[in-house]
Amino acid sequence: MAADFIPYMERTRLYYRAQGFTRDYVWATHDDTPFHTLKKPLNTCRVTLITTAVAHPEIPKPVRKAESIPFSEVPDSFLTDELSWDKETTHTDDRESYFPIESLTALIDDGVIGSLADRFHFIPTQYSHRATIDEDAPAIARACIEDDVDVALLVPI
């Protein structure tokens, strides 16, 4: 039996049009990716999370710039309502579904990964590839280098 695939990009295009955007989103493409083979076993690696969910839910309209936040300050919930995603089909009531800190902690306890870095990172969703490539991504990369991160788990909303 053939699998039914969800036409994600077309659905996203239609979703943004329904919100009033007149120009279709131009998806970023890259001929080369910055991914590489781990230089050491995963069970010795230091891991961090990178999310697009805003870690300051008390701020209704937060500043949309990259930020590094101590894992000791993980909020019970993140601000996700201001982001554009299909709120009819899914939800963000379960923090673990978009910020899997408990799962990572269990993997550390089981010896699958080495440890958590000191900080997790917020990177905003923007319609500007330039801002993401020239400002936000380098800021997060610098923070990951400062924290001796081996693996960054990207979890976008």
Residue 125 has a pLDDT of: 76
pLDDT for residue 1 is more than 60 = no
Q: 39-49 pLDDT, tens per residue?
A: 899 999 999 99
Q: Look up residue 83 and give its two tokens.
A: 């982001």
Q: Look up residue 24 and give its two tokens.
A: 């279709």
**Within a domain: residue 76?**
yes
**Within a domain: residue 27?**
no
- C-alpha angle 94-43-97 in degrees, rounded to nearest 5: 10
**Within a domain: residue 26?**
no
Amino acid 43 reads N
Extract the runs of DSSP E, i.e. beta strands, from 25-90: 46-51, 67-70
Q: Look up residue 1 and give its two tokens.
A: 């039996």
Q: Which domain holds residue 101?
A: 36-155
Q: 6-52 pLDDT, tens per residue?
A: 787 888 888 888 889 888 877 777 777 767 788 899 999 999 999 88
Phi, psi dihedrals of residue 25, rounded to the nearest 5°: -65, 135
- Asked if 124 and 53 touch (Cβ cutoff 8 Å), the reply is no
**Within a domain: residue 31?**
no
User: Exposed (0-12), middle (13-18) or buried (19+): which is 137, by Cβ within 10 Å?
Assistant: middle
Q: 47-102 pLDDT, tens per residue?
A: 999 988 877 666 666 667 888 999 998 888 777 776 666 677 777 788 888 889 99
Q: 113-139 pLDDT, tens per residue?
A: 999 999 999 887 766 778 888 888 899
Q: How many domains does the chain have?
A: 1
Helix (H) or strand (E) holding 75: none
